[in-house]
Amino acid sequence: MLIALLIFVCVVSVQYIIKMQNSEEEETLIEAKASMTQEQLKTHTMLMMTEIVLKQFVENIMLNIEIVPVDDKQNVIVSLRASEFLKESTLLKDSYNLLKEIQHVEEINDITLKWFMPVKNNNTEILTVTFDDEALAAIHEISYKDIPQAATQYIKHEHLD
């Protein structure tokens, strides 16, 4: 019985120490973010967005990332290249997978995904999807089919079937 009590006390002590260390690391991270300049914050967000897109897609589909500071957050516009043979459902699935990862980037106020593809030999914006921070936080509650209704902006080009 005494051994069981000793083991219990050790386990509780270890958990307490781990929680204290984690909270100190979180405070340090929060302090570091607070001391970032707008340019450092833009660079940090850009690197995180690039990492997410590269992790999701084998091929290089990212055309551009635009970041516009808004108070202590940022509006992000990611331009992506789609194959000329992709359908709307495929782009919605790809957008959904990206948004599920992007929702964890705390610095984002609004995120816009712009999909471009060749139409009559011109690079044409065929799908634009925008989510504000509230809609982005709720992305896990919907499926990819619900993106047109859940997005704060959804623009589909006539050439996208």
The answer, yes or no, to whether residue 161 has pLDDT greater than 80, is no
Q: Which of 98, 58, 56, 97 is nearest to 77 (CA)?
A: 98
Using pLDDT thresholds of 50, 70 and 90, give the confidence band for residue 49. confident
| pTM of structure | 0.70
Average pLDDT of the residues in 44-65: 75
> What is the pLDDT, as a whole number, of residue 16?
67
The verdict on domain 37-156 having CATH code 3.10.310 is: yes
Give 145's contacts (C-beta < 8 A, 6+ positions apart). 89, 92
What is the tens place of the pLDDT at every residue in 134-153?
999 999 899 999 999 999 99
Selected residue with higher pLDDT from 103 and 52? 103
Is residue 55 within 8 A of residue 112, CB to CB? The reply is no
